[in-house]
Amino acid sequence: MCVGVPMLVVESRDEGAAWCDGREGRVLIDLSLVGPQPPGTWLLTFLRAAREVMTPEAAARTGAALDALAAVLSGDTSTIDDAFADLVSREPQLPEHLRPKETES
């Protein structure tokens, strides 16, 4: 399973990479897919490569989900609703392309 991890750019490099801070400390991240990014930018990363630029809010939601995953894996489900607060207040919805097509009669 591959899980995306939010990381914050702290220092850009000339060779298409940036030093970023995240859950596992400071890591050199490849920026080939997102282009150069200034310090303060949040990135969703997989395997030391940025896959997309994130808003701070999206980075916080992803971080909370990763915290919940770690808690559940250790047997603690007490804070799972807090970690997925954006899902608790509404019914989950299928994306448009997965919804059943209405048939005309």
Q: Is 98 within a domain?
A: no
CA distance 82 to 6: 19
Domain encompassing residue 52: 5-88
Mean pLDDT (the chain, rounded): 88
pTM exceeds 0.75 for this model = no
Q: Is 96 within a domain?
A: no
* Total domain count, the chain: 1
Give backbone dihedrals phi and psi of 40, rounded to 5 degrees, phi first.
Answer: 95, -5
Residue 67 tokens, joined = 């915290």
Environment class of 44 (CB within 10 Å of its CB; exposed 0-12, middle 13-18, buried 19+): middle
CATH of the domain at 82: 2.30.30.140
Instruction: Quote the pLDDT of residue 15.
Output: 81
Q: Is 97 within a domain?
A: no
Q: Is 49 within a domain?
A: yes
The 10s digit of each residue's pLDDT in 42-64 is 999 999 999 999 999 999 989 98
Q: Is 45 within a domain?
A: yes
Q: Residue 11 pLDDT > 80, yes or no?
A: yes
**Average pLDDT rounded to a whole number, residues 78-103:** 77
Q: Is 22 within a domain?
A: yes
Q: Is 66 within a domain?
A: yes
Task: Work out whether the CA dihedral 62, 67, 69, 70 comes out positive or negative.
Answer: positive
DSSP state of 39: T
Environment class of 64 (CB within 10 Å of its CB; exposed 0-12, middle 13-18, buried 19+): middle
The 10s digit of each residue's pLDDT in 70-83 is 888 888 888 777 76
Q: Is 105 within a domain?
A: no
